[in-house]
């Protein structure tokens, strides 16, 4: 239903003749559209200081929306200081410096279909970091956000714990123990704004006594610059069927190993328990550290997720890192890491003058989302959605590539790897030809810090595509390789 609303006389009177138009087919939530429009009228001076807004009830009736929608918009405006509430009198417009407000970019005409970031121009986007566009639980998130606002308004006038909200840390601890076999206490958990921030902190803590980090090759490309910016040397370790080459690691001077043991990025292999124990032994025998990046292990489509490496030796030198980016949203910038007790004191010493880097409101929203059981339900839902896409991708590859391609890394995560042993074309040529057909491919070569695969290899992310886009994209791609 498209329920455009044009103001009624009573509402127009209360808002100085201004009208609000909400469009339910717009992807921007209704409360946000209302928030944007009221905010724009306040910033442009059309709603004068101390003007009274219609009550939540009246506004909801006039706009034919729920009270929650209006309440959501008012709460957000209130939290940001655009309006204020007066007990038993209602909501009023705050007095703003109109000169400054008029210069604010937000004072431009409100375009409520605005979505941040350039839209992808590709019809078939195989980028591995894309999630299902319909999957964000907007309505539940909004409810948890509002609940968080209501329950925590007193905390919002303070900076909060630099290590992260205690309630969120407790929820993460319970989840990690139940689902990932990670054994830790909430005081070992640090809430971060993504893996790179976690690695930056770890690099900083360890740089007095460590200078060489072993990384997987091929491996996730983004941590490299974090280590290098902290003056570490990088030691690439080849990946075999059981993960990193442990003999080479032992022979190297590396004293930190950054690994993705439960789902190696990009090849998808799982480090067997014997290798995990050998890696732990390597760390224990020389005051060395393992950084375990457990970024998407919930997404395993057959059998149970592989338990964490940290759980094999919870008191060892293992730094465990997890994220909400792969199942919920990479835009939230919400992740966590578990430090071994031995690193907590140096962490607190180094970071005692830092403020938290993740908004308390987002942290409280996530905590509420977890407390109500939404997070674990969301994971189950996502696993079903992505399994369907994964199966379609595998079938399409079988149909269109047949024996031309060798598939690896299937059965988990949001991408697979396709080796093309017989093609004469390079990766760059295929990516270029694909681009001309509106297909986006992320270069597999980006994951290599040294050397390149013998045969042309493609990385196919499927999270952001629909089933039919996957089928058509693979059919077209097979003609180009
Ligand atoms: C190997 C790996 N680790 C971690 C992440 C998540 O990073 P962040 O928490 O910074 O979004 C990703 C995202 O794609 C990844 O591929």
DSSP string for 124-170: EE--TTPPPTT-S-HHHHHHHHHHHHHHTTTGGGS---TT--HHHHH
Please indicate, yes or no, whether residues 325 and 414 belong to a single structural domain of this protein: no
Ligand 1 pocket list (CB less than 6 A): 129, 194-196, 220, 260, 265, 293, 295, 323, 325, 330, 335
Report the nearest atom of ligand 1 relative to the CA of 197: 10
Please indicate, yes or no, whether residues 50 and 160 belong to a single structural domain of this protein: no
Please indicate, yes or no, whether residues 259 and 344 belong to a single structural domain of this protein: yes
Structure tokens at 35: 């928030």
Q: Whose CA is nearest to atom 9 of ligand 1?
A: 194
The domain tally of the chain equals 3
Please indicate, yes or no, whether residues 105 and 234 belong to a single structural domain of this protein: no
CATH of the domain at 343: 3.40.640.10
CATH of the domain at 84: 1.10.10.10
Please indicate, yes or no, whether residues 331 and 443 belong to a single structural domain of this protein: no
In a domain, 48, yes or no: yes
Q: Whose CA is nearest to atom 2 of ligand 1?
A: 295
455 CA → ligand 1 middle, Å: 26
Domain boundary at 80, 99, 115, which?
A: 115
pLDDT at 115: 43
End-to-end Cα separation, the chain, in angstroms: 44
Please indicate, yes or no, whether residues 407 and 363 belong to a single structural domain of this protein: no
In a domain, 2, yes or no: no
Please indicate, yes or no, whether residues 188 and 102 belong to a single structural domain of this protein: no
Kind and range of the H or E element at 279? helix 273-284
Q: Whose CA is nearest to atom 3 of ligand 1?
A: 295
- Measuring CA to CA, how many Å separate 105 from each of 83, 94, 268, 283, 310? 19, 19, 45, 52, 47
Domain boundary at 348, 372, 396, which?
A: 372
Please indicate, yes or no, whether residues 226 and 353 belong to a single structural domain of this protein: yes
Please indicate, yes or no, whether residues 275 and 353 belong to a single structural domain of this protein: yes
In a domain, 45, yes or no: yes
Domain range for 419 is: 382-480
Please indicate, yes or no, whether residues 412 and 322 belong to a single structural domain of this protein: no
In a domain, 128, yes or no: no
In a domain, 3, yes or no: no
CATH of the domain at 404: 3.90.1150.10
Please indicate, yes or no, whether residues 399 and 359 belong to a single structural domain of this protein: no
80 CA → ligand 1 middle, Å: 31
Domain boundary at 372, 403, 421, which?
A: 372
CB 60 within 8 A of CB 67: yes
Give average pLDDT by consecutive 10-residue segment, the chain, 481 residues. Answer: 38 59 82 88 86 92 90 85 88 79 47 46 94 97 95 89 96 96 97 98 97 98 96 96 96 97 96 95 96 96 91 97 98 98 96 95 97 97 98 98 96 97 94 96 94 93 97 97 92
In a domain, 123, yes or no: no
270 CA → ligand 1 middle, Å: 17
pLDDT at 463: 98
| Tens-digit pLDDT profile for residues 380-396 | 999 999 999 999 999 99
- Helix or strand or coil: residue 394? helix
259 CA → ligand 1 middle, Å: 12
Structure tokens at 346: 């140096």
295 CA → ligand 1 middle, Å: 6
CB 14 within 8 A of CB 48: no
Describe the strand order of the beta sheet including 335-338 as a list of residue ranges.
189-192, 335-338, 318-323, 289-293, 256-259, 212-217, 233-240, 243-244
In a domain, 1, yes or no: no
Please indicate, yes or no, whether residues 218 and 358 belong to a single structural domain of this protein: yes
pLDDT at 328: 98
Give bridge partners of residue 319 from the DSSP assignment: 291
195 CA → ligand 1 middle, Å: 6
């Amino acid at each position: 239903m498209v329920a455009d609303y044009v103001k009624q006389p009573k509402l127009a009177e209360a808002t100085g003749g201004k009208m609000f138009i909400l469009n339910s087919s717009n992807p921007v939530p209704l409360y946000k559209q209302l928030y944007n429009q009221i905010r724009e009228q306040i910033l442009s001076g059309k709603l004068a200081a101390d003007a009274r807004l219609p009550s939540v009830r009246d506004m909801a009736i006039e706009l034919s929306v729920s009270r929650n929608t209006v309440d959501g918009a008012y709460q957000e405006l209130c939290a940001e200081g655009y309006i204020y509430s007066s007990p038993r009198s209602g909501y009023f417009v705050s007095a703003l410096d109109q000169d400054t407000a008029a210069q604010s970019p937000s004072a431009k005409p409100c375009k409520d279909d605005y979505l941040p970031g350039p839209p992808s121009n590709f019809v078939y986007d195989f980028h591995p970091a894309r999630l299902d566009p319909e999957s964000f639980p907007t309505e539940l998130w909004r409810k948890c956000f509002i609940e968080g606002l209501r329950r925590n308004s007193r905390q919002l006038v303070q900076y909060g714990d630099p290590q992260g909200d205690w309630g969120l840390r407790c929820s993460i601890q319970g989840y990690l123990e139940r689902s990932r076999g990670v054994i830790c206490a909430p005081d070992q958990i640090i809430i971060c704004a993504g893996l790179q921030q976690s690695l930056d902190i770890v690099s900083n803590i360890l740089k007095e006594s460590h200078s060489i980090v072993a990384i997987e090759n091929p491996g996730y490309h983004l941590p490299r610059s974090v280590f290098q910016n902290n003056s570490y040397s990088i030691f690439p370790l080849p990946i075999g069927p059981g993960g990193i080459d442990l003999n080479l690691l032992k022979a190297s001077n590396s004293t930190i190993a950054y690994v993705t043991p439960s789902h190696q990025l990009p090849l998808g292999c799982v480090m067997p328990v014997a290798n995990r124990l050998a890696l732990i032994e390597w760390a224990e025998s020389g005051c060395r550290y393992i950084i375990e990046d457990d970024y998407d292990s919930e997404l395993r489509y057959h059998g149970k997720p592989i338990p964490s490496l940290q759980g094999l030796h919870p008191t060892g030198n293992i730094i465990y890192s997890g994220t909400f980016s792969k199942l919920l949203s990479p835009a939230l910038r919400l992740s966590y890491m578990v430090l071994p007790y031995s690193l907590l004191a140096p962490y607190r010493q180094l970071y005692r003058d830092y403020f938290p880097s993740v908004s308390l409101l987002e942290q409280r929203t996530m905590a509420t989302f977890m407390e109500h059981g939404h997070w674990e339900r969301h994971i189950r839902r996502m696993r079903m959605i992505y399994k369907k896409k994964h199966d379609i991708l595998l079938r399409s590859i079988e149909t269109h590539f047949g024996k031309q391609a060798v598939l690896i890394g299937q059965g988990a995560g949001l991408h697979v790897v396709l080796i093309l042993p017989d093609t004469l074309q390079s990766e760059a040529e295929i990516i270029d030809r694909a681009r001309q057909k509106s297909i986006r491919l992320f270069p597999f070569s980006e994951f290599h810090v040294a050397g390149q695969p013998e045969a042309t290899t493609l990385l196919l992310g499927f999270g952001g595509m629909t089933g039919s886009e996957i089928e058509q994209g693979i059919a077209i791609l097979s003609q180009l390789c």
